[in-house]
């Protein structure tokens, strides 16, 4: 998780995953801007979305994640409100 303008890590951002069948999981970014989600979804679920939010920042655009059995790295960026 990074600040969109400065590229500095963003700590404490809430990251929410929602599958296409509405299974949800959430976590928060750490002091280095890293986050890990352990996602368990129903059989047959093919994709979901990630979205990040934090007070003082605009909510991120949704990022679509497809499942094929491999781990994913998604670099989310937040833009400060009013910028």
The band of 83, judged by pLDDT with boundaries at 50, 70 and 90, is low
pLDDT of residue 23: 84
**The token pair that represents 16 in the structure block:** 């929410």
For the chain, what percent of residues have pLDDT higher than 90?
A: 61
CATH number at residue 18: 2.60.40
pLDDT of residue 6: 95
Q: Is residue 35 part of a domain?
A: yes
Q: Is residue 83 part of a domain?
A: no
Look at the chain and report how many structural domains it folds into.
1
For residue 21, what are the domain limits?
A: 1-71
Reference 46, options 28, 68, 63, 25; nearest CA is 68
pLDDT of residue 29: 97
Reference 11, options 29, 38, 37, 23; nearest CA is 29
Predicted structure pTM score = 0.86
pLDDT of residue 47: 86
């Amino acid at each position: 998780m990074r600040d969109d303008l400065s590229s500095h890590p963003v700590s404490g951002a809430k990251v929410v995953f929602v599958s296409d069948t509405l299974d949800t999981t959430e976590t928060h970014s750490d002091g280095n801007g890293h986050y890990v989600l352990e996602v368990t979804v129903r059989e047959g679920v093919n994709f979901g979305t990630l979205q990040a939010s934090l007070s003082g920042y605009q909510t991120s655009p949704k990022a679509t994640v497809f499942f094929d059995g491999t781990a994913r790295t998604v670099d989310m960026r937040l833009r400060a409100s009013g910028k």
